[in-house]
């Protein structure tokens, strides 16, 4: 990572943010700067660019912009990341939502779909597949294409299999996939009740009403004020007594929303919407 | 070698102490935090390589054995004095200009998440010379580049003497790229941190 020739000043990062907003419509101005800066520097180093070149191609090369977007929006995700979270979901949330006629779930910032299919497997296991529907959204349309396919490298699936074992679900992760050579395709019945579409948490609004919203390890990329704005969006998108799941190291810091969400599981960061 | 005035003063003028380690570093870091006084007046940030999915007793064990408050880092937490922070497993820990933590789940660095490089590099920009960083035992080269960034920003950078490290690769990697301004024996590190 350390190349003395590539530095990026705060002013340059600001210029880049303005440029991207103007040309491509994505607003990164309230993203956490340390992480964003590191991502941009990585591109500059990997592609051996000067800052001036980077600005030039961001303006003129749509194809490159997609590569850029893939790099700066972190798309690292796992199936059953934090197995103890899925255990808590199974024990504390599923019994509650299973009484509903329909269970609508929103996985916000779903990247290549791993969390959506983890939730689909969990709901299927609980016998709730037919009455549940999972919406996966992300800012990055290319990632959503991957998510829709539901095809994952077998190596990756093997690394997710350990998570699955710890989650307490029965059988093994590969039970839910058809494996051919080095690719694992998620079973088609798990895909039936999913829908992937573009949604930008920074700029887009409420689009449905949900019993469960999962947005884990997305807030970490946002500054505190933006986090609060998105909490508002989630609050307005949840049915009364609906559940909000955040990443285990994320925190509701705003006093306003501390009063609007009741903690159900503090360690796993699961909340329930309070209706006042 | 006895500690010179320069190193002691720069440690005393630091706002933050960064400790990075991997295999073989645990007991040394444990002894360090046991010795801290209540009026340390600095923040301590510890990045130890750790595996995901294994409920770790590090926080519990450490906090029962130190006089100052200790916690696992949470996103956007403000960095305070007299507090020891431990980087959580399966996240990178970065430091924002506003002196709060930012977490990140991006790719592992040197097969490690948390990566010492990531934390050290972002600390370099925020703290510059008001920072002391020590790299301990470990079996890979994570931390070396980060230590170099810190040194270039004027921080006091120290590598544990590889002779004292159970796994010498990590401090050696830092020494090889000239990232460590000082190479200290474990006893000298303990002695330095006793100056307040």
Number of residues assigned to chain B: 196
Distance, in Å, from the CA atom of A102 to the CA atom of A110, rounded to the nearest integer, reads 21
* Per annotation, catalytic residue among B117, B142, B145, B164: B142
For A194, other C-beta atoms within 10 Å of its C-beta total: 23
Residue A66 lies in a domain: yes
What is the torsional sign of CA B172, B175, B181, B184?
positive
pLDDT tens string for chain B (196 positions)?
578 999 999 999 999 999 999 999 999 999 999 999 989 999 999 999 987 766 677 888 888 999 999 999 999 999 999 999 999 999 999 999 999 999 999 999 999 999 999 999 999 999 999 999 999 999 999 999 999 999 999 999 999 999 999 999 999 999 999 999 999 999 999 999 999 8
Residue A77 lies in a domain: no
Which residues, in sequence order, are bridge partners of residue A261?
A273
Question: In chain B, which residues have their Cβ closer than 8 Å to the Cβ of A13?
Answer: none
- DSSP class of residue A176 equals G
DSSP letters for chain B: -PPPHHHHHHHHT-SEEEEEE-TT-HHHHHHHHHH--TT--SEEEEEE---TTS---HHHHHHTT-SSEEEE--TTPBP-TTEEEEPPTTSEEEE-TTSBEEEE----BTTBSS-HHHHHHHHHHHHTTSEEEEE---SS-TTHHHHHHHHHTT-EEEEE-GGG-SSTHHHHHHHHTT--SEEE-HHHHHHHHH--
Q: In this model, does residue A117 exceed pLDDT 60? A: yes
State whether A96 and A204 are in the same domain. Answer: yes
State whether A50 and A91 are in the same domain. Answer: no
Q: Does the annotation mark B22 as catalytic?
A: yes
State whether A44 and A118 are in the same domain. Answer: no
Question: In chain A, which residues have their Cβ closer than 8 Å to the Cβ of B107?
Answer: 76
Distance, in Å, from the CA atom of B79 to the CA atom of A117, rounded to the nearest integer, reads 37
Q: Which residue of A has its CA nearest to B88?
A: A249
Largest CA distance in chain B: 44
Residue A132 in 3-state DSSP? Answer: strand
Q: Of the candidates A26, A45, A72, which is a domain's last residue? A: A72
Question: In chain B, which residues have their Cβ closer than 8 Å to the Cβ of A221?
Answer: 104
Q: Are B30 and B65 in contact (CB under 8 A)?
A: yes
pTM of the model: 0.94
Distance, in Å, from the CA atom of A83 to the CA atom of A89, rounded to the nearest integer, reads 10
Tokens 């051996």 -> residue: A48
Containing structural domain, residue B182: 5-194
State whether A116 and A62 are in the same domain. Answer: no
CATH code, domain with B86: 3.40.50.180
Distance, in Å, from the CA atom of A173 to the CA atom of A185, rounded to the nearest integer, reads 12
State whether A34 and A93 are in the same domain. Answer: no
Q: Of the candidates A52, A72, A92, which is a domain's last residue? A: A72
Give the closest of B88, B117, B122 to A249, CB-based.
Answer: B88
Q: What is the ipTM of this complex?
A: 0.92
* Sequence-ordered list of residues with C-beta below 8 angstroms from that of B57, at least 6 positions apart, any chain: none
Shortest alpha-carbon distance between residue B154 and chain A (Å): 15
State whether A52 and A19 are in the same domain. Answer: yes
Distance, in Å, from the CA atom of B146 to the CA atom of B127, rounded to the nearest integer, reads 13
Containing structural domain, residue A52: 10-72
CATH code, domain with A107: 3.40.50.150
Give the pLDDT confidence score for residue B2 in this predicted structure.
72
pLDDT band at A275 (very low <50, low <70, confident <90, very high): confident
Give the pLDDT confidence score for residue B57 in this predicted structure.
79
Contact check, Cβ <8 Å, A74/B104 = yes
Q: Does the annotation mark B49 as catalytic?
A: yes
Distance, in Å, from the CA atom of B158 to the CA atom of B171, rounded to the nearest integer, reads 9
Contact check, Cβ <8 Å, B102/A227 = no
Question: In chain B, which residues have their Cβ closer than 8 Å to the Cβ of A228?
Answer: none
State whether A103 and A238 are in the same domain. Answer: yes
Helix H or strand E segment including A263: strand A261-265
Q: Of the candidates A21, A51, A72, which is a domain's last residue? A: A72
Tokens 């990443």 -> residue: A247
State whether A155 and A198 are in the same domain. Answer: yes
Tokens 């591109």 -> residue: A43
Query: Closest Cα to residue B194, out of B1, B47, B7?
Result: B7
Q: Are B110 and B117 in contact (CB under 8 A)?
A: yes
| Cα angle A253, A256, A258; round to 5 | 55
Contact check, Cβ <8 Å, B75/A34 = no
DSSP letters for A73-127: S-----TTSSHHHHHHIIIIIHHHHTTSS-EEEEEET-TTSHHHHHHHHHHHHTT
Q: Please indicate if any CB of chain B lies within 8 Å of the CB of A18.
A: no
Interhelix angle A141-149/A62-72, rounded to 10 degrees, is 70
Contact check, Cβ <8 Å, B77/A251 = yes
Distance, in Å, from the CA atom of B128 to the CA atom of B131, rounded to the nearest integer, reads 6
Contact check, Cβ <8 Å, A247/B75 = yes
Q: How many domains does chain B have?
A: 1
Q: Please indicate if any CB of chain A lies within 8 Å of the CB of B59.
A: no
State whether A102 and A196 are in the same domain. Answer: yes
State whether A202 and A252 are in the same domain. Answer: yes
State whether A212 and A173 are in the same domain. Answer: yes
Distance, in Å, from the CA atom of B128 to the CA atom of A109, rounded to the nearest integer, reads 34
Residue A47 lies in a domain: yes
Which residues, in sequence order, are bridge partners of residue A31?
A222
Give the closest of B102, B104, B145 to A1, CB-based.
Answer: B145
Contact check, Cβ <8 Å, B122/A34 = yes
State whether A165 and A222 are in the same domain. Answer: yes
Q: How many domains does chain A have?
A: 2
A189-228 tens-digit pLDDT: 999 999 999 999 999 999 999 999 999 999 999 999 999 9
A3-13 tens-digit pLDDT: 545 689 999 99
Q: Please indicate if any CB of chain B lies within 8 Å of the CB of A32.
A: yes
Q: What are phi and psi of A275, to 5 degrees?
A: -100, 125
In angstroms, how far is CA A179 from the centroid of its own chain?
25
């Amino acid at each position: 990572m350390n190349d003395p020739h590539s530095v990026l000043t705060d002013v340059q990062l600001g210029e880049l943010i303005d440029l991207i907003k103007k040309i491509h419509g994505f607003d990164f101005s309230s993203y956490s700067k340390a992480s964003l800066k590191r991502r941009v520097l990585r591109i500059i180093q990997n592609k051996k660019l000067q800052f001036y070149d980077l600005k030039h191609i961001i303006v003129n090369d749509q194809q490159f912009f997609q590569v850029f977007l893939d790099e700066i929006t972190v798309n690292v995700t796992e199936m059953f990341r934090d197995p103890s979270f899925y255990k808590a979901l199974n024990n504390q949330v599923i019994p509650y939502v299973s009484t509903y006629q329909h269970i609508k779930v929103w996985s916000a910032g779903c990247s290549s779909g791993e969390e959506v299919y983890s939730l689909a497997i969990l709901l299927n296991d609980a016998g709730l597949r037919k009455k549940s529907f999972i919406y996966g959204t992300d800012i990055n349309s290319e990632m959503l294409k991957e998510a829709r396919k539901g095809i994952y490298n077998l190596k990756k699936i093997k690394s997710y299999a350990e998570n699955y074992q710890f989650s307490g679900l029965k059988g093994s992760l590969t039970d839910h996939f058809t494996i051919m050579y080095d690719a694992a395709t998620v079973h088609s019945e798990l895909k039936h009740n999913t829908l992937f579409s573009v949604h930008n948490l920074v700029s887009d609004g409420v689009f449905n009403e949900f019993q469960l919203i999962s947005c884990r390890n997305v807030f970490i990329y946002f500054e505190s004020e933006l986090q609060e704005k998105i909490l508002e969006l989630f609050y307005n998108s949840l049915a009364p007594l609906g559940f909000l799941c955040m990443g285990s190291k994320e925190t509701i810091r705003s006093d306003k929303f501390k009063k609007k969400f009741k903690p159900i599981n503090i360690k796993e960061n699961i909340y329930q919407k309070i209706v006042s | 070698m006895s500690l010179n005035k320069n190193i002691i003063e720069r440690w005393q003028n630091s706002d933050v102490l960064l400790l990075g380690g991997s295999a073989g570093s645990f007991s040394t870091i444990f002894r360090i935090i046991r010795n801290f006084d209540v009026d340390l007046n600095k923040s301590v940030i510890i990045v130890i390589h750790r595996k995901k999915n294994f409920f770790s007793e590090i926080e519990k064990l450490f906090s029962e054995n130190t006089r100052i408050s200790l916690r696992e880092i949470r996103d956007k937490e403000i960095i305070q004095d007299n507090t020891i922070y431990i980087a959580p497993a399966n996240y990178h820990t970065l430091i924002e200009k506003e002196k709060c933590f930012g977490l990140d789940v991006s790719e592992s660095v040197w097969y490690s998440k948390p990566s010492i490089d990531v934390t050290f590099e972002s600390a370099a920009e925020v703290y510059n010379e008001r920072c002391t960083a020590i790299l301990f035992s470990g079996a890979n080269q994570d931390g070396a580049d980060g230590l170099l960034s810190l040194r270039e920003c004027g921080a006091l950078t120290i590598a544990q003497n590889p002779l004292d490290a159970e796994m010498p690769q990590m401090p050696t990697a830092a020494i090889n790229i000239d990232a460590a301004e000082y190479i200290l024996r474990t006893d000298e590190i303990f002695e330095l941190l006793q100056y307040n």
